[in-house]
Amino acid sequence: VQLQASGGGLVQAGASLRLSCAASGRSVSSYVMAWFRQAPGKDREFVAGISWSGQTSYKDSVKGRFTISRNHNQNIVNLEMDALEPEDTAVYYCAAGMRGLRTTNSDYQFWGRGTLVTVSS
At 62-111, the pLDDT tens digits run: 999 999 999 988 899 999 999 999 999 999 999 999 999 999 999 999 99
Query: Can you give the pLDDT at residue 72?
Result: 84
Query: Can you give the pLDDT at residue 87?
Result: 97
Q: What DSSP designation does 60 have?
A: G
- Distance, CA of 36 to CA of 34 (rounded, Å): 7
Query: Can you give the pLDDT at residue 74?
Result: 84
- Distance, CA of 44 to CA of 59 (rounded, Å): 12
Query: Can you give the pLDDT at residue 37?
Result: 98
Q: In this structure, what are the phi and psi dihedrals at residue 107, rounded to the nearest 5 degrees?
A: -85, 0
Mean residue pLDDT across the chain:
96
